[in-house]
Structures are given as C-alpha cells and as structure tokens.
C-alpha cells in the first residue's frame, strides 16, 4: 500500500530517499536557481549531464539536505508540457525509485501555467503509482525492484489544497486501474466466469456498489442466445455480472450503462486461433469487463454522482463437442437471428445480448468496452483505442481521452459498412463478407441491437501490451478505466452547474 501525502515544508527539510524534480526543457538552470540552497547548487552542478528531453534524468547527491538523492527529470518543452508529460515524468521518477535504494520518494509539483494544481497532483500520482505496478501473484520467489515505494510525497509550495484533492483522486483512479490490470493478468483458470463474478463481488463489497451475478439458469430464462451459443463449447457455465452505482445525489435519471466484453479466454472456438501472437494473448479478452468492474470501483470510491449500471457477460470461447459451429443460426436475446460464420467473432455475440438486455434500464447512453477486433490494433496500434457511435457524444469521449491519457480516435460509421453484414438466411451475419474495415463491421453488428445513444470503444491494441510503455507495463494495462472515469466525472460536473 503506497501512502500519499502533500506538503509545503522547505525542500531542504524533506527527508526522502529520492526527491524528483521535473524540469521543462531549457528551464533547468531557472528551476535549480528557484529551488536554491544546497539542493539548487547540486542541481546546477549536474546540468551538464542532463539532456532535458521528456523522460531524461540526472542524479545529484547534495550535502546539507535530508534527502539521499535528487533526480532531475525532463518534462519536455514548457509550452507542450501537459498532464501526460507529468505522468511520464513521474513514471520516470518511479523507475528510479525502484532501482535505487529506499522506500520513500517525493516529487516537486512544477508550476506550469496551463495545468491546475489539482490536475498536476492527479497526473503525478497516476504516473508514479501506475509505473510502480508489478504483477507478482504467480512468482514464488521475490522478484524485487517494484512496488517498493511505500510513501510518496508531493511537494507543493502554495495550492497544496488543490494538489491534495488531485493526488487523492489520482490514487483512487490508479488503484482502480491496477484492479483491472490484476484481473487481466490473472491466469485463465483463476478467472472462470464464476470466479470473475466472485472477484467482482469482492470489489463491490470493498468499494460499496451494488452487484448481482446472474447464473446460467437466469441467463437461459432471459434467453440470451448469443451468450449461450458462445458458451456451448465450454466446461464452465457463463455468468452475467450486473453492477449498480446510484447514490442519492445523481445528476441523471436514466443510467449510463457500461458493457464490458468478458470472454475469459478466447480460443476462437472451432474457428480456432493459431497459438503464437494470437491465442497466447487471449486471457486478456475480458479486459473490457475488467475495465467496467474497475470503473464501478472508482465511481463508488470517489462518490461520483452519476447513475451507472455495469454489465459484463462472461464466458470462455472454446471448441468442444457441443460448441457452436460456422453455419449455426442463433436466436439472440433481442429475438433477432444471427448467422454465425466464424466462431471467433464471439465478442459481438455476447455484447449484442447485453446491449439488448440493457433496454430494460432505458439507458440515457450505453458504452461498450471491448477487445473486439485484431483490425483495431492493426489500424491504431497499442496506444490509441477506436471509438465508434450511432449518435452518442463521441467528442466528449475524445476529450476525456486527451485528459486521461487513455487516448481514443473515432472511426467512421457510414451506413454502407452494414452491407457487409447482410445475411441470406438470418437477420445479420456475425462476420463481414469481406475482410476489410473489420473494427467498423463489428461495430455495425453491435449497432443493429441498439435503439438508444451508444458509444463503442474497441481497445484490442491498448488493453494488453507486448512491450512496456511509460507507466504501462507489459501485459494488462487497465486501459479504459481512466477514460470512462474522466468521461463520467465531466458529465457530473457539467450537469451540476
């Protein structure tokens, strides 16, 4: 557990193992002079070693202070320094804190005209906390090096109140993001649908939102044909996790429904995936569901006044004696029929049922979060998710992405994309006739089941990494948690005014 606090005591009196000083390009001397005293002197002497770019570092060991070492960390050009630059700088600090001796660290909150104290506090804590994450559950020996910092102090001369508010928020959001990472990184046999439901119940109990985990008989009674079809090859029964956050002071009467793809393992089914660089990553196919569970955690802990329902249809997708087959026609929850031509297009089958089920809530807006298509990763890579919509507030989602660091960019949804999904024998097919615009075709399939405002986030690329990025480790990233928390926080703020 990392303790986080904010202080304004003189820097020379701060006693930590590592003191991190973010420095805008070209302002190293200015920063050192402003700090002054022994620390400022020591920093001035290290300036020659400091390249000043975003992420660059130089260490100094000043005498006459209580801290063991001071690190200059490059922020990039001052006029470009945004909250993402603060996250990256803090992540660099976290990396040093793990590599050097000690368990306590402090960051000097830089004064940047364009960034409020609150935003700076949040970004620095997010960057530091998210970069200190390590998934060690299956290591039987100490892997060392990570998560060693047990105390992080933000040094804010002036505006400590705002910085403290931001830091508190950053901690909660980062911890929720790590909840999602942990679930994604879990071994598939430790997150069968039933176990995933239990994990969600534990999160609900700890953070204080409502939850019901519907079992197979309830799913059958509700006639969720898509979820049941995907589940047919499995030894494990499916679940539908339904979560509710509805505090007294909500700003909306009809809920925002969040729907996360909960395929706990995707073999492709009878349309089997190859192992390398395909099936070997498919424990992460519940990253949408993990993000929804973690968003509920953050909403409840931050007491965000928005009425939200979270839905996670969960099953694995496997070949098996009873598995659904290419050519099967499935009657969905909505009553519509789907011609299944590829059992590996399973995510849209379970999401379509959840979207149809969501109608009982009369949603103001639904948001699907899903590792839906390899095409998304091919198009946008590992840092940006694809967003699509029928008529939802996609600009607001984009804006939330820019602030949160979970970047999204839109894809087109013109009517002609639906032509590829026309079926001769059923109402719709589950894969396009051509292998083009795969992420859009999948979204068009989902749109068929929707008659309310809806946003769709396909994050196959950003959800699970083969190579670490700043503050995102290899493996599960928790992408989407900060995006949706930011989106809903803005909604609460806007309406309260």
Question: Does 438 engage in binding with ligand BES (CB under 6 A)?
Answer: yes
- Nearer to ligand BES (CB atom), residue 318 or residue 377: 377
Q: Which residue is nearest to Mn ion (CB)?
A: 344
The answer to whether residue 474 is catalytic is: no
Residue 236 binds which entry of Zn ion, Mn ion, ligand BES, none, with Cβ cut-offs from 5 to 8 Å by kind? Answer: none
Identified binder of ligand BES from the candidate list 169, 377, 429, 482, rule CB under 6 A: 377
Question: Does 181 engage in binding with ligand BES (CB under 6 A)?
Answer: no
Identified binder of Zn ion from the candidate list 82, 168, 285, 297, rule CB under 5 A: 285
CB of 271 to ligand BES, least distance (A): 7
> Strand runs (DSSP E) across 234-374, as ranges?
239-245, 256-260, 262-266, 308-317, 329-331, 337-339, 365-370
Q: How far apart are CA 113 and CA 90, in angstroms?
A: 18
User: Interface residues for ligand BES in 263-322 (CB under 6 A)?
Assistant: 266, 281, 285
CB of 279 to ligand BES, least distance (A): 10
- Nearer to Zn ion (CB atom), residue 150 or residue 280: 280
Q: What are phi and psi of 310, to 5 degrees?
A: -115, 135
**Site track for Mn ion across 255-274, x = CB under 5 A:** -----------x--------
Q: What are phi and psi of 104, to 5 degrees?
A: -125, 140
- Nearer to Zn ion (CB atom), residue 83 or residue 230: 230
Question: What is the rounded end-to-end Cα distance, in angstroms, of the chain?
Answer: 36
Q: Which stretch binds ligand BES (CB under 6 A): 20-28, 330-338, 371-379, 401-409?
A: 371-379
- Nearer to ligand BES (CB atom), residue 84 or residue 316: 316
Q: Assess contact for 394 and 412: CB atoms under 8 A.
A: no
**Site track for Mn ion across 325-364, x = CB under 5 A:** -------------------x-x------------------
Q: What are phi and psi of 369, to 5 degrees?
A: -120, 120
Q: Which helix (H) or strand (E) holds 211?
A: strand 210-214
Size of the site for Zn ion (CB under 5 A): 4
Residue 54 binds which entry of ligand BES, Mn ion, Zn ion, none, with Cβ cut-offs from 5 to 8 Å by kind? Answer: none
**Site track for Zn ion across 345-374, x = CB under 5 A:** --x---------------------------
- Nearer to ligand BES (CB atom), residue 126 or residue 316: 316
Tell me which residue of 94, 106, 184, 187 sits closest to 145, measured CA to CA. 94
Q: How far apart are CA 129 and CA 132, in angstroms?
A: 5
**Site track for Zn ion across 236-275, x = CB under 5 A:** ---------------------------x--x---------
Q: How far apart are CA 349 and CA 87, in angstroms?
A: 37
**Cα dihedral 237, 218, 284, 440 sign:** positive
Question: Does 344 engage in binding with ligand BES (CB under 6 A)?
Answer: yes
Q: Which helix (H) or strand (E) holds 23?
A: strand 18-25
* Maximum distance among all Cα pairs of the chain, rounded to whole angstroms: 81
Q: How far apart are CA 479 and CA 207, in angstroms?
A: 20
Q: What are phi and psi of 404, to 5 degrees?
A: -80, -20
Size of the site for ligand BES (CB under 6 A): 17
CA–chain centroid gap for 263, Å, is 17
Selecting among 169, 216, 348, 377, the annotated active-site residue is 348
- Nearer to ligand BES (CB atom), residue 121 or residue 288: 288
Q: Which residues of 22-41 are buried (b: 16+ CB within 10 A; e: fewer)?
A: bbbbebbeebbeebeebbbb
The answer to whether residue 283 is catalytic is: no
Q: How far apart are CA 439 and CA 99, in angstroms?
A: 41
Question: Does 346 engage in binding with ligand BES (CB under 6 A)?
Answer: yes
Question: Does 76 engage in binding with ligand BES (CB under 6 A)?
Answer: no
Q: Assess contact for 107 and 154: CB atoms under 8 A.
A: yes
CB of 458 to ligand BES, least distance (A): 9
Residue 375 binds which entry of Mn ion, ligand BES, Zn ion, none, with Cβ cut-offs from 5 to 8 Å by kind? Answer: ligand BES
Q: What are phi and psi of 123, to 5 degrees?
A: -65, -40
CB of 350 to ligand BES, least distance (A): 10
Selecting among 129, 273, 301, 444, the annotated active-site residue is 273
CB atoms within 10 A of CB 100: 15
Q: How far apart are CA 359 and CA 47, in angstroms?
A: 61
- Nearer to Mn ion (CB atom), residue 345 or residue 400: 345
Catalytic positions, please? 273, 348
Footprint of Mn ion on this chain (CB under 5 A)?
A: 266, 344, 346
Footprint of Zn ion on this chain (CB under 5 A)?
A: 263, 266, 285, 347
Footprint of ligand BES on this chain (CB under 6 A)?
A: 266, 281, 285, 342, 344-347, 371-375, 377, 431, 438, 460
């Amino acid at each position: 557990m990392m303790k986080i606090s904010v202080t304004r005591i003189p820097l020379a009196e701060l006693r930590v193992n590592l003191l991190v000083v973010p420095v805008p390009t070209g302002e190293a001397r200015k920063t050192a002079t402003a700090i002054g005293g022994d620390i400022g002197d020591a920093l001035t002497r290290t300036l020659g070693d400091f390249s000043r770019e975003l992420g660059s570092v130089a260490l100094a060991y000043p005498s006459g202070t209580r801290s063991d070492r001071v690190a200059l960390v490059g922020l990039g050009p001052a006029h470009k320094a945004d909250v993402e630059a603060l996250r990256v700088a803090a992540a660099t600090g976290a990396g040093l804190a793990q590599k050097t001796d000690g368990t306590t660290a402090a960051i000097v909150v830089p004064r940047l005209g364009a960034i409020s104290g609150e935003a700076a506090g949040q970004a620095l804590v997010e960057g530091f906390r998210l970069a200190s994450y390590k998934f060690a559950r299956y290591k039987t020996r100490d892997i060392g090096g990570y998560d060693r910092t047990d105390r992080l102090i933000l040094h804010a001369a002036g505006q400590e109140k705002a910085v403290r508010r931001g830091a508190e928020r950053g901690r909660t959001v980062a911890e929720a993001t790590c909840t999602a990472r942990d679930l994604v990184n879990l071994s598939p046999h430790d997150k069968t649908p039933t176990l995933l439901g239990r994990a969600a119940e534990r999160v609900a109990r700890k953070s204080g939102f409502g939850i019901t985990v519907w079992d197979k008989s309830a799913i059958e009674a509700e006639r969720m044909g898509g979820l049941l079809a995907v589940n047919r090859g499995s030894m494990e029964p499916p679940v539908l996790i339904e979560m509710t956050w509805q505090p007294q002071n909500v700003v909306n009467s009809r809920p925002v429904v969040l729907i996360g793809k909960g395929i706990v393992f995707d073999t492709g089914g009878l349309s089997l995936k190859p192992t390398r660089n395909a099936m070997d990553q498919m424990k992460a196919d519940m990253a949408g569901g993990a993000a929804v569970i973690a968003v509920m955690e953050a909403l409840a802990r931050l007491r965000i006044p928005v009425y939200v329902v979270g839905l996670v249809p969960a099953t694995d997708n496997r070949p098996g004696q009873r598995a659904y087959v290419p050519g099967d026609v499935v009657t969905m929850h909505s009553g519509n029929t789907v011609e299944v031509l590829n059992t590996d297009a399973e995510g849209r089958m379970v999401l379509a049922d959840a979207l149809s089920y969501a109608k009982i809530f009369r949603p103001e807006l639904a948001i699907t979060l899903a590792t839906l298509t390899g095409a998304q990763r091919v198009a946008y890579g590992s840092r940006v998710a694809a967003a699509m919509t029928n008529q939802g507030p996609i600009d607001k989602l984009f804006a939330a992405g820019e602030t949160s660091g979970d970047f999204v960019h839109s894809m087109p949804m013109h009517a002609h994309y639906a032509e590829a999904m026309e079926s001769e024998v059923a109402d719709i097919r589950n894969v396009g006739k051509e292998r083009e615009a795969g992420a859009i075709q999948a979204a068009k399939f989902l749109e068929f089941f929707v008659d309310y405002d809806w946003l769709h986030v396909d994050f196959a690329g950003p959800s699970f990494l083969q190579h670490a990025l700043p503050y995102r480790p290899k493996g599960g990233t928790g992408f989407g948690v900060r995006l949706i928390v930011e989106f809903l926080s803005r909604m609460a703020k806007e309406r309260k005014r």
